[in-house]
């Protein structure tokens, strides 16, 4: 039983991060209707959190090399319950957006430090399997947050949906605190000034910056696709209910299947070849969503989700092997650009939505994916095999 405690705790950390981050996505049409807001204004519930993650992630990455692990992760998970509950108490869209921003500030101390814990405490072969557990939990949490909020919003409204997510967060935090063994191999790094110098060096490295750009494109496309398709499917002729919209997000579980396959594809195609291929396939999958057929839309969304997970796995592992020093800081910067992309993906396509509806959103996402493919073709070069566990997604 003791041998299962650490994997269970790591699973809970991965689950709770993405449970909270994306929970509002399936109920954005309800938010829009309740407050008389536009689609762009409602989408701030997503962009506020992703922007907060982007702001704090690089500093969390540096801090992860200087402080202990378990107490930081557990404290952040318990603290996360408060803003989640406050979203439920909010009586205005502005208040909801504020508390969603606070939520975002508390997420990097969970996932960045969890990744650091895995790297510190486990042997390479154990780290690889634990990274797979973390990734699977992240995928399931991303699905379940969207599904649960949509399911709860029908009978209990927006307030009930967010209270439900807060309760799940509290249960997960309690389980994590009880199950995770304290770190034994942690050694503090040289200090903040040293870490910040390395961060600046990473930003000036054109190879790393090209990887950061791909991370930006991945979450931009992910967030844009799953945010505005909710408005598309909530409107006629589909008119899906919140529960039905939440059920659509079961396709997010494709990540549980595709992520383990990414390593094999990287070995066969290389990271450069895989990301270029997924950019093209992602564009093709978007075209399926323009058919007006709900089954084909679901297929297109599932293909797009799979492409996102493949690209993310390739990019995160490429950061780990491309950074010659201070890898934690490099991963933190990657996470920053990744979530800046998520914030932009929640807002920028909204203007295309207002002008041209879902086809306008598809065009914007396709252009971003085309740019990502061109950046990879120009700047990415193959390198050696990634160290075990380096493909953990943020």
**The domain that contains 215 carries what CATH number?**
1.20.1250.20
Cβ neighbourhood burial of 264 (10 Å; 0-12, 13-18, 19+): exposed
What's residue 192's pLDDT? 58
Give the CA count within 13 Å in the CB-facing half-sphere of 383. 17
The residue with greater pLDDT, 380 or 229, is 229
> What confidence tens digit (pLDDT) does each residue in 217-230 have?
999 999 999 999 99
Cβ-based neighbours of 41, under 8 Å, separated by 6 or more:
32, 35, 93
The residue with greater pLDDT, 266 or 205, is 266
The residue with greater pLDDT, 326 or 111, is 111
pLDDT of residue 60 exceeding 60:
yes
CA-based nearest residue to 105, from 60, 167, 146: 60
pLDDT of residue 263 exceeding 90:
no
> What confidence tens digit (pLDDT) does each residue in 1-40 have?
557 889 999 999 999 989 999 899 999 999 999 999 999 9
Q: Is 392 a domain residue?
A: no
The residue with greater pLDDT, 94 or 327, is 94
What's residue 2's pLDDT? 57
Q: Cα(202)–Cα(247) distance, rounded to whole angstroms?
A: 40
> What confidence tens digit (pLDDT) does each residue in 335-357 have?
889 989 999 999 999 999 999 99
CA-based nearest residue to 90, from 19, 167, 158: 158
Cβ-based neighbours of 2, under 8 Å, separated by 6 or more:
none
Task: Reduce the DSSP state of residue 67 to 3 states and report it.
Answer: coil
> What confidence tens digit (pLDDT) does each residue in 282-292 have?
999 999 999 99
- Percentage above 70 pLDDT, the chain: 85
Q: Is 386 a domain residue?
A: no
> For the chain, what is the mean pLDDT?
85
What's residue 394's pLDDT? 42
What's residue 138's pLDDT? 86
Q: Is 388 a domain residue?
A: no
Give the mean model confidence (pLDDT) for residues 247-273: 81
∠ Cα 166 167 170 (to 5°): 90
Cβ-based neighbours of 93, under 8 Å, separated by 6 or more:
31, 35, 37, 41, 42, 44
pLDDT of residue 89 exceeding 90:
yes
Give the mean model confidence (pLDDT) for residues 262-285: 89
Any idea which of 75-89, 132-146, 261-275, 327-341 has the lowest mean pLDDT? 327-341
pLDDT of residue 304 exceeding 60:
yes
Sign of CA dihedral 53, 146, 310, 113: positive
Alpha helix locations (H) across the chain?
2-22, 28-35, 39-42, 44-63, 70-89, 93-106, 108-121, 124-179, 192-203, 206-234, 242-248, 254-288, 294-322, 327-356, 358-379
What's residue 334's pLDDT? 84
Give the CA count within 13 Å in the CB-facing half-sphere of 349. 33
Give the mean model confidence (pLDDT) for residues 130-141: 82
The residue with greater pLDDT, 378 or 185, is 378
Q: Is 385 a domain residue?
A: no
pLDDT of residue 157 exceeding 60:
yes
Cβ neighbourhood burial of 91 (10 Å; 0-12, 13-18, 19+): exposed
> What confidence tens digit (pLDDT) does each residue in 115-125 have?
778 767 877 66
What's residue 392's pLDDT? 40
Cβ-based neighbours of 55, under 8 Å, separated by 6 or more:
105, 336
Q: Is 390 a domain residue?
A: no
Q: Is 186 a domain residue?
A: no
Q: Is 229 a domain residue?
A: yes
Per-residue 3-state assignment (H helix, E strand, C coil) for 217-285: HHHHHHHHHHHHHHHHHHCCCCCCCHHHHHHHHHHHHHHHHHHHHHHHHHHHHHHHHHHHHHHHHHHHH
What's residue 354's pLDDT? 94
Distance from chain centroid for Cα 72? 20
> What confidence tens digit (pLDDT) does each residue in 158-169 have?
999 999 999 999
What's residue 4's pLDDT? 84
Q: Cα(60)–Cα(176) distance, rounded to whole angstroms?
A: 20
Domain range enclosing 238: 2-179+191-379
CA dihedral 56, 57, 58, 64 (to 10 degrees): 110
What's residue 376's pLDDT? 94
Number of domains in the chain: 1
């Amino acid at each position: 039983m003791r041998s299962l405690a650490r994997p269970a705790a790591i699973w809970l950390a991965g689950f709770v991060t993405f449970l909270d981050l994306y929970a509002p996505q399936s109920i954005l049409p309800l938010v829009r209707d309740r407050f008389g807001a536009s689609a762009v204004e409602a989408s701030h519930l997503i962009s506020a959190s992703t922007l907060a993650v982007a702001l704090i992630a690089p500093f969390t990455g540096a801090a992860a090399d200087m402080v202990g692990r378990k107490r930081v992760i557990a404290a952040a998970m318990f603290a996360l319950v408060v803003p989640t509950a406050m979203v439920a108490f909010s009586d205005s869209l502005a208040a909801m957006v504020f508390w969603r921003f606070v939520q975002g500030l508390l997420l990097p101390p969970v996932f960045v430090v969890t990744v650091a814990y895995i790297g510190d405490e486990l042997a390479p072969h154990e780290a690889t399997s634990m990274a797979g557990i973390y990734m699977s939990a992240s995928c399931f949490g991303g699905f379940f947050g969207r599904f649960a909020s949509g399911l709860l919003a029908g009978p209990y409204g927006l307030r009930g949906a967010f209270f439900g997510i807060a309760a799940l967060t509290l249960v997960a935090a309690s389980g994590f605190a009880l199950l995770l063994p304290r770190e034994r191999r942690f050694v503090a790094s040289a200090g903040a000034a040293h870490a910040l110098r390395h961060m600046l060096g990473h930003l000036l490295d054109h190879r790393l910056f090209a990887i950061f750009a791909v991370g930006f494109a991945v979450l931009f496309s992910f967030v844009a696709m799953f945010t505005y398709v909710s408005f598309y499917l909530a409107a006629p002729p589909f008119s899906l209910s919140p529960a039905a919209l939440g059920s659509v997000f079961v396709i997010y579980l494709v990540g549980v299947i595709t992520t383990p396959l990414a390593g094999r594809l990287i070995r066969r195609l290389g990271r450069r070849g895989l990301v270029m291929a997924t950019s093209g396939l992602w564009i093709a999958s978007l075209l399926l969503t323009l058919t007006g057929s709900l089954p084909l839309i679901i297929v297109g969304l599932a293909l797009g989700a799979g492409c996102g997970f493949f690209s993310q796995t390739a990019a995160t592992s490429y950061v780990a092997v491309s950074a010659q020093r201070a890898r934690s800081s490099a991963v933190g910067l990657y996470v920053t650009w990744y979530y800046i992309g998520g914030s932009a993906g929640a807002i920028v396509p909204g203007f295309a939505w207002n002008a041209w509806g879902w086809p306008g959103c598809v065009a914007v996402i396709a252009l971003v994916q085309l740019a990502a493919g061109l950046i990879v073709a120009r700047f990415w070069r193959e390198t050696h095999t990634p160290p075990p566990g380096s493909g953990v997604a943020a």
